[in-house]
Structure 1
Amino acid sequence: MKILMVSMNSIHFQRWTEQLKDTEHEVYWFNVRDGGYSEKLSWVHQIVGWKQKFPNLKGRSFIKKYAAWLYNKLSFLIENNTAKAFEKTLLEVKPDVVHSFVLYISCSPILKVMQKYPNVKWIYSSWGSDLYYFQHKPAYLKNIKNVLPRVNYMFSDCKRDVKLAKKYGFKGELLGVFPGGGGYSISEYDKFILPVNQRKTILIKGYQGRSGRAISLLKAINDLNEKLREFPIVIFGIDKEVENFINQNHLKSKLDLKTFSKAEFLPHMEIIKLMGEALIYIGNSNSDGMPNTLLEAIIMGAFPIQSNPGGATAEIIQHNKNGLLIENCEDVESIKALITEAITNKNMVNNAFDFNQIEVKPKLNRPVITEKVISKYNTIIN
């Protein structure tokens, strides 16, 4: 089967696509943002270099960075139309199925083309905040309602978004609920897992921005600084806003605190190693699907405390059993109570480690999920 992927480049897209390597399927990829050739997917037929009408145009990057309004106004003169470029690819490749990842990035721009060719089968993968966050934005909701009735098949990273998709017009076939990047290389990660009694670190995802709510976590640990002095705290992925909060509240003088900024781009395997050493992992956002970092923390044996937007996280965390759920990402007092519970209730943390390693982790193993994903693709051609 010929599969034409439509996506921007990302680690999750790469990991998902790698599941199809060494299968009988012929994989093409229309890089919807035209971010350049990916060596990591060298076995995939990549459609890149389509966007710029004048590839060697001087000053393009400068104008795009410092005068974005001007670049956007003139973009029709210097960039090829995404829909036209995709249609050209569609007619050349003649795929059995088109697979788009993230609605507003990879479905909306090609919708008119897919409507023009109604017999071409279309898969949509919902990730993260794709439906849950953007349903509250009128312009995006309009796109959601236009796209979903045309989609034939759907993968999702959580059951919550399946319900949302049906609410907004999806009447096709659900192919399954799987992690956004497929499964995890458990055999590769196992050597980095420490026993619970050797762990003391609290690991925090430091995202703020549009959906991250790391500052609510930092307010909580600031208030709890007396109780947390014996716990090394590591925060990764911090942006300027979070860094400013840390400095303004002198957190590094109150706590054994180490930070890694987004700009430092901590390699994925380094984050995995940190999770394998962490006693507790905390992630907090106002919107997400099934967070990949949460799943990785569970696999690596860190006790998870995670926000639960729309009930997505509750699909894998049983509150007070194998983790704790943050029901209000802005409620500092409730977050303080959850952290206090985690650092004082050793039985809960020990039992959660055993439960997650024995019951949850095997279900996230990459070979297990890959086999299921490939079988789902195979049903499309039968």
Structure 2
Amino acid sequence: MKILLVSMNSIHFRRWSDQLRDNEFDVYWFDVLDQGYAPSMSWLTQITGWKKGFLKKRGRTFLKSKLPKLFNALVHKYDNHVEDAFAKALQEIQPDLVHSFALYTSGLPIIDIMNKHENVKWIYSSWGGSDLFNKANKPNYESEVSQVLHRVNYLITDCERDHQIARNMGGFTGTYLGAIPGGGGFDIREFNTQRGNASFVVKGYENELGKAIPVIKALFKIAYNYKISISIFGATQSLLQFIEGQQVSNLQLELHRDIAHEEVLELMDNSIFYIGNSLSDGMPNTLLEAIYCGCIPIQSNPGNATSELISNTINGYLIEEPENVDHIEKLILQALNSSRTIEGFYEANKSIRDRFVRERVKEEVLQLYKALI
């Protein structure tokens, strides 16, 4: 069985594709952004290096910075288009199944080719933060989304919310394969009960969708009356600029921009609370990772996606107004002042950990692929 995966290179894609390693499938990866050969995925056949039509080895960055107009003209004239490269890969591989990850990155760019090959089965995996729920800055959202959803045969989402959007707004009439985390399942970790009092680990994305600044503002206000520690990972430049020069007593602050995935998990292992805040997300992988690390989750709830797993005050806390500092402050204070222990929340999230343990999800995914042939 030949499976052609179409995706950008990301940690979620690497984790998902790794579920297929050492199995009965012939797995191919079309590197849709042509980011380059990935040694960590050497076990699968990579279609990469397809884009550059001039200065293939060196000189492109220099030319782009010094003569941008000339560079753009050369790109337009000589670089290969994604449709042509994918069509060539499709013809050479003759896959039994094409699987695209993320609609705008890996679905829409190949829609014309897939429409010419209607006999080829096509799975689309929706990534909740960017695909179906978020319509911002997408003037052609309805036509673009419906183009892909009308053609794909199968749909995987990371939350039920996006399944309903695909059915009701996108016109999807194919087979829904279920809600599965975008990177597959998670490994069980040893539960650390010795954590710092009032310790928080915060996802530091501050951009169009990520809203870390309202969280930090709320925590800074709380720090005037509580001694707290904050570890921030993935801190974006806008968040760093906001924090720079801030002087808050009773606060221990640890900032990280780009750190290894295992280091993020170690921060979670040693913090009581995890906070993630976004205007558009599905079921965040970092939320699930925090649950596996034993954190008490405090998470935004765009379109009620998070509430599919988290019940407010029962096994975590739901941020319903992600840009409202007072609302976030009140919620964090409620969590801080709760009489419930971290062990109690850990037990309350046992069913989630059982449901998404990596080996269980891997077996589910393998059976899913086998059933489609």
- Shorter-normalised TM range: over 0.9
Cα contact 2:128–2:162 (8 A) shared by 1: no
Amino acid at match of 2:369: Y
Q: Which secondary structure state, in structure 1, belongs to the residue aligned with residue 151 of structure 2?
A: coil
2:172 to 149, 164, 170: 170
Deviation, 1:241, is: 1.2
1:146 equivalent to 2:147? Answer yes
Distance across 2 between alignment mates of 1:68 and 1:132: 35
Equivalent residue for 2:210? 212
Cα contact 1:221–1:228 (8 A) shared by 2: no
Equivalent residue for 1:83? 83
State the TM-score, normalized to the length of structure 2: 0.95
2:237 to 240, 244, 251: 240
Cα contact 2:195–2:271 (8 A) shared by 1: no
Amino acid at match of 1:165: A
Equivalent residue for 1:309? 302
Distance across 2 between alignment mates of 1:71 and 1:154: 39
Distance across 1 between alignment mates of 2:352 and 2:65: 44
Q: Which secondary structure state, in structure 1, belongs to the residue aligned with residue 255 of structure 2?
A: strand
Q: Which secondary structure state, in structure 2, belongs to the residue aligned with residue 304 of structure 1?
A: strand
1:224 equivalent to 2:222? Answer yes
Equivalent residue for 1:101? 101
Equivalent residue for 2:112? 112
Distance across 2 between alignment mates of 1:221 and 1:350: 23
Deviation, 1:326, is: 0.3
Amino acid at match of 2:352: V
1:330 to 320, 323, 331: 323
1:159 equivalent to 2:160? Answer yes
Deviation, 1:145, is: 1.4
1:284 equivalent to 2:277? Answer yes
Cα contact 1:104–1:140 (8 A) shared by 2: no
Distance across 1 between alignment mates of 2:139 and 2:332: 37
Distance across 1 between alignment mates of 2:322 and 2:57: 46
Greater Cα offset, 98-107 or 34-43:
34-43
Structure 1 residues 181 and 70, CA gap change in structure 2 (3 angstroms): farther
Cα contact 1:144–1:168 (8 A) shared by 2: yes
Q: Which secondary structure state, in structure 2, belongs to the residue aligned with residue 33 of structure 1?
A: coil
Q: Which secondary structure state, in structure 1, belongs to the residue aligned with residue 254 of structure 2?
A: strand
Cα contact 1:199–1:277 (8 A) shared by 2: no
Distance across 2 between alignment mates of 1:36 and 1:270: 25
Distance across 2 between alignment mates of 1:67 and 1:182: 43
Amino acid at match of 1:243: L
Distance across 2 between alignment mates of 1:309 and 1:76: 39
Amino acid at match of 1:159: E
Equivalent residue for 1:321? 314
Amino acid at match of 1:223: K
1:344 equivalent to 2:298? Answer no
Structure 1 residues 68 and 341, CA gap change in structure 2 (3 angstroms): farther
Amino acid at match of 2:186: Y
Distance across 2 between alignment mates of 1:376 and 1:67: 50
Distance across 1 between alignment mates of 2:358 and 2:369: 16
1:269 equivalent to 2:262? Answer yes
Distance across 2 between alignment mates of 1:78 and 1:278: 52
Percentage identity across paired residues of the two chains: 44
Distance across 2 between alignment mates of 1:340 and 1:321: 16
Distance across 2 between alignment mates of 1:197 and 1:291: 23
1:185 to 187, 191, 211: 187
Q: Which secondary structure state, in structure 1, belongs to the residue aligned with residue 35 of structure 2?
A: coil
1:360 to 349, 352, 364: 352
Distance across 2 between alignment mates of 1:56 and 1:336: 52
Amino acid at match of 2:217: K
Cα contact 1:9–1:31 (8 A) shared by 2: yes
Amino acid at match of 2:156: F
Q: Which secondary structure state, in structure 2, belongs to the residue aligned with residue 56 of structure 1?
A: coil
Cα contact 1:114–1:120 (8 A) shared by 2: yes
Amino acid at match of 1:291: P
Cα contact 2:226–2:250 (8 A) shared by 1: no
Amino acid at match of 2:298: I
- After the TM superposition, which residues 26-65 of structure 1 pair with which residues of structure 2 at under 5 Å, given as runs? 26-56=26-56, 58-64=58-64
- CA displacement, residues 109-143 of structure 1 (integer Å, 9 cap, x when unaligned): 11000001111111001012211113762224321
Structure 1 residues 271 and 359, CA gap change in structure 2 (3 angstroms): same
Q: Which secondary structure state, in structure 1, belongs to the residue aligned with residue 340 of structure 2?
A: helix
Equivalent residue for 1:296? 289
Deviation, 1:281, is: 0.5
Q: Which secondary structure state, in structure 2, belongs to the residue aligned with residue 238 of structure 1?
A: coil
Structure 1 residues 348 and 163, CA gap change in structure 2 (3 angstroms): farther
Cα contact 1:148–1:168 (8 A) shared by 2: yes
Deviation, 1:198, is: 5.9
Distance across 1 between alignment mates of 2:83 and 2:43: 25
Amino acid at match of 1:375: Q
Cα contact 1:135–1:141 (8 A) shared by 2: no
Amino acid at match of 2:252: D
Deviation, 1:351, is: 2.0
Which runs of 5 or more structure 2 residues have no equivalent in the other structure?
none
